[in-house]
Amino acid sequence: MYHVETKTRASKIAFYGGIIVLIIAVALPFFAGRATIQDIFFILTMLVLAQWWNLLAGYGGLVSVGQQAFVGMGAYAMFGMVILQGWDPVPSILIAGLAALILAIPTAFFAFRLQGAYFAIGTWVIAEVTRLSVAQWKQLGGGTGTSLPRSATKNMRGVEWVKDLLDVKTSAARDILAYWLALIMAVLTIGFIYWLLRSRRGLGLSALRDNFTTAKSLGVDAVAIKWFVFLISALGTGLAGGLIYMQKARISPDAAFSVLDWTAYVIFIVVIGGIGTIEGPIIGVIVFFLLQNMLADYGSWYLLILGVIGITIMLFAPKGLWGLFSQRTGIQIFPVQRRLVNKNQNSEDKNNG
């Protein structure tokens, strides 16, 4: 009897390894300094952004250069709930996701009228429109921006509990809370995306990406899938935006809608790591973080080098670092390739790649 399998030996090993890493990560605030927590927070949130962009572009074939619209919209929605409605920042993050989702609907309406690179620039235009419009929102600081009021940040749900648990100051407790939320978000994001790609919808997505016309002729609803992937990525990106700016506690339109921070860096991370794989962004964000640490003092040289590396990888190793590794070794940690396995045979087909 034949059945379809996706597990690989590497993935099983990685699964147990991952549990261990996760336990360490959860326990980190107990023994690491504040700077480390902030660094890992940054890594985790960039990873979340990268995973969503990768789902959109690497799997969905929709290259967006406008995801900063959803980061910004989410962040501003979160700020809006706190400042204008008196909500606690933490639950406001959920509203951030919702706001991004709502923004995604007209965005998709306009952007889907365009193809390929024009779609990309179209998403950028819409991000610009959003930025310029939000800059008119005087109650949230207009063009110069605003900060979360102290009353809101001091009394944030969970901060007291963290303070007592770890015996730290309020501001450190906030960072730790944000860190744990980021950890949850990262695990849920990767888990969801992995589940999605292994589901039937994911199979349709892969089919669409590989051969559009054939997939459609076999009944894959291209339009529905495109909308679904676009909306869900926006939702995830908005949630991340809300969390990022909850931690920053200070917002401005130029920062929240920055092409550099929320698109250029994200694209770099995905491209270096390996587009179209779940493992890729993980590798990419680590490389990105290391590069940033090494070169941060060099101003524009840093970005220049980043750009050159990105171009070089795209020209000579388009599958990124993980792609190179995976091709050499055939290892997949998050295998989404389906293989036909004959239950009667004990050896598994080694040709997955």
Partner 1 sequence: MIWIDSLIQGILLGGLYALFAAGLSLVFGIMRLVNLAHGDLIVFSAYITLAFVSLLGIHPFVAAFVAAPVMFGIGWLLQRLVLNRVLGPDILPPLLVTFGLSIVLQNALLETWSADSRRLSVGALETASLSLGPITVGILPVMTFFTAVLAIIILNHISFKTELGRAFRATSDDPVTAQLMGIRPNSIFATAMGLAMVIAVIAALYLGIRANFDPSIGPARLIYAFEAVIIGGLGSLWGTLLGGIIIGVAQTIGATINPEWQILAGHIAFLVVLSIKPRGLMPRAFD
Please identify, using beta-carbon distances, which residue of 159 and 275 lies nearer to partner 1: 275
70 vs 179 by CB, closer to partner 1: 70
| 63 contributes a contact to partner 1 by CB under 8 A | yes
Give me the phi and psi of 345, to 5 degrees please: -95, 150
Which residue lies nearer to partner 1 by CB, 112 or 192?
Answer: 112
Helices (H), the chain: 9-27, 34-54, 68-85, 89-111, 116-134, 150-154, 159-166, 170-198, 200-210, 212-217, 222-248, 253-256, 259, 265-273, 279-295, 300-316, 320-329
Size of the site for partner 1 (CB under 8 A): 42
DSSP secondary structure string for all residues of 295-325: HGGGTHHHHHHHHHHHHHHHHH-TTHHHHHH
**Would you say how long the chain is, in residues?**
353
Binding mask 253-282 for partner 1 (x = CB under 8 A): ------x----x--xx--x---x-------
Q: How far is it, in rounded angstroms, from Cα 272 to Cα 292? A: 14
| Identified binder of partner 1 from the candidate list 120, 156, 159, 256, rule CB under 8 A | 120
Q: Is there binding between residue 212 and partner 1 (CB under 8 A)? A: no
Contact with partner 1 (CB under 8 A) among 10, 28, 98, 125: 125
118 scored as a contact of partner 1 (CB under 8 A)? yes
303 lies in the binding site for partner 1 (CB under 8 A)? yes
Least distance CB 339 / partner 1 (angstroms): 25
- Least distance in Å: CB of 134 to partner 1? 11
Q: Which one of residues 308, 329, 342, 349 is an interface residue with partner 1 (CB under 8 A)?
A: 308
Q: How far apart are alpha carbons 345 and 223 in whole angstroms?
A: 40
Q: Please, which of residues 64-93 interact with partner 1 by CB under 8 A? A: 65
* Closest to 34 measured CA to CA, from 166, 154, 186, 164: 166
Q: Is 128 left (phi over 0), alpha (psi -120 to 50) or beta?
A: alpha
260: its two tokens: 């550099």
**Where on the chain is the footprint of partner 1 (CB under 8 A)?**
57, 61, 63, 65, 109-110, 113-114, 116-118, 120-122, 124-126, 128-129, 132-133, 135-136, 259, 264, 267-268, 271, 275, 299-301, 303-304, 306-308, 310-311, 314-315, 318
